[in-house]
Amino acid sequence: MKLHMQILIALGLGIKRNWHIFFGIILGIVVGIFLHGHEYPLVSTVLTFIGQVFIRLIQMVVIPLVVSAIVIGITSIGDNKQLGKFGTKMVVYYGIITSIAVAIGAVLALIFKPGVGAAHYIAENAASEVQASVAAAMEQQHNVLNIFLGFIPSNPMHSFAAGDMVPIIVFVLIFAVALAKVGDVNRPIVSFFESVFAATMKITDWIMYFAAPGVFALTASAVSSFGIDIFTSISKYLLVLFIGFMLQLCVVYPLFLKFFSKVNIGMLYSAVAEAMMVAFGTASSSATLPLTIACCEKRGISHKIASFVLPLGATLNMDGTALLQTVAVIFLAQAYGVALTPFLIIEIALLAIIASSTCAGIPGAGLITIALILNGMGLSPEQLVAGFAFLFTIERITDMMRTLVNVTSDAVVVAAIADNENEINYDLLNNPAAYEDIA
Ligand code: ASP
């Protein structure tokens, strides 16, 4: 069977199993279009409230889940050599997927030039100021070391309280490796985290009863705020993003899995369809994480691999975000008439890889860490106000798309690693019917 048919059928199966969430998305789009341009303050307040309840409920379990999953994952792998092997493989796989995403974003943005049409909205003096700043920055290179410094938490409790995921993960990784090293005395604390993990997964099950109304409300309020007209005014930019995301989903991931594993992409997509839909609805990889783990484990990926690779992926692997950031920055450069030299393009691509992986898996984070790329180019977001205004008008919808891509690639990488390590039960993965029986 042709690959695209396999993907469609698999997604169909996944949607059939979770038709209520899919229905929530479609109904959300229809209601959002209807509400756009009308004043129904009560309806918008209620929709925002329902959406926020759903997001807050899932965010509530993220930190306990990430901490317990990483501790269990690392201590169960135990031996140093295996841990090093998994860890390296994970970084390499995530690195490959994100670099391809950035390359696709850059090539598409250079071919379609989405920013050129936006140039007439930008005041001439603003444009020349921006051009001068970029030129000056290109002469003296910037220090990216400070970015890395920020990843080391000087006070982990502060990072926990502030919900800063990257420093939290750095601390928990070091803590878990130390626990693995100290041998049997770690038992009480590891069993403690096993209980925390089990309880948070149970809470996730309960929260998922609320997924359909939650996703409906979030989609409806996002769509009602911009209506469909926005699609025409900024269509080129959206088109470039859409093509880029589709290439990742329908070409890059299937090829990646073919090359590095025996996993059938269709079966994987059918397994994680529910997580993909919730990612789209919530625009948050972290919030979707409990579900991504549940979907992967239910369909045969071992707990050992899933609990180690997915929490890290949900925070560090943001290929959809990297693609968007590359396109967005090239869009701004084109709109402001900045000369896109090969050197500048490579710098944008490298900074996008760093900026995306420092970005938290929460709504809107990707547009904020674009500041890091602009900073590297010698600019501040304030200098690009008019250009940013464009990006913000459609922020939510692009966030929904890029988060779906982010979450899917986490699943692709975890499946490849599980395959390589013989940690996948193919009877479950390749047999959605068997899954229905045990679900
Ligand atoms: N919302 C995205 C995510 O959670 C991050 C971003 O804003 O790009 O994956």
User: In one letter, which amino acid is 79?
Assistant: D
Across 227-243, average pLDDT: 75
Structural domain including 283 reads: 3-434
- Angle of the 211-226 helix axis to the 265-282 helix axis, nearest 10: 60
Number of domains in the chain: 1
Q: Of 55-64, 125-134, 212-221, 406-415, which has the strongest mean pLDDT?
A: 406-415
140, pLDDT greater than 60: no
Domain presence at residue 45:
yes
Confidence category of residue 138, pLDDT binned at 50, 70, 90: low
Q: What distance in angstroms lies between residue 400's CA and the mean position of ligand 1's atoms?
A: 8
Q: Which atom of ligand 1 is nearest to the CA of 365?
A: 7
**Test site for ligand 1: of 165, 318, 391, most ligand atoms within 8 A of the Cβ:** 318
Q: What is the pLDDT of residues 105-121, one digit of tens each?
A: 999 999 998 887 666 65
Q: pLDDT grade, residue 439 (50/70/90)? A: very low
* % of the chain at pLDDT higher than 90: 26
Most confident residue range from 104-118, 241-255, 370-384 = 241-255
Q: Give 1-33 pLDDT, tens digit per residue.
A: 565 666 566 556 555 556 777 788 888 888 888
Q: What is the chain's Cα-based Rg?
A: 22
pLDDT of 414 strictly over 80: yes
> Among the atoms of ligand 1, which is closest to the Cα of residue 288?
4
For the ranges 181-190, 303-312, 379-388, the lowest mean pLDDT is seen at 379-388
pLDDT in tens, 79-99: 667 777 888 888 899 999 999
H/E stretch holding 363 reads none
Q: What is the mean pLDDT of residues 251-273?
A: 92
pTM of the complete model? 0.76
Residue of the CA atom closest to atom 6 of ligand 1: 366
Could you tell which of 241, 278, 284, 289 is best to mutate to test the pocket of ligand 1, judged by most ligand atoms within 8 Å of the CB?
284
Give the DSSP per-residue string, 34-86. Answer: HHTTS--HHHHHHHHHHHHHHHHHHHHHHHHHHHHHHHHHHHHH-SHHHHHHH
Whether residue 299 contacts residue 271, with contact meaning beta carbons closer than 8 Å, is answered with: yes
CA of 107 to the centre of ligand 1 (A): 22
By mean pLDDT, which of 43-52, 214-223, 299-308, 329-338 is the weakest? 214-223
- Whether residue 8 lies inside any domain: the answer is yes
pLDDT of residue 438: 38
For ligand 1, mutation pick of 248, 370, 399 (most atoms within 8 Å of CB): 399
The atom number, within ligand 1, closest to the CA of 362 reads 4
Q: Which of 120-124, 132-136, 204-208, 365-369 has the lowest mean pLDDT?
A: 120-124
In a domain, 439, yes or no: no
28 is a domain residue: yes
pLDDT at 109: 94
Please report, for the domain that includes residue 260, its CATH number: 1.10.3860
What is the position in ligand 1's atom list of the atom closest to the CA of 361? 4
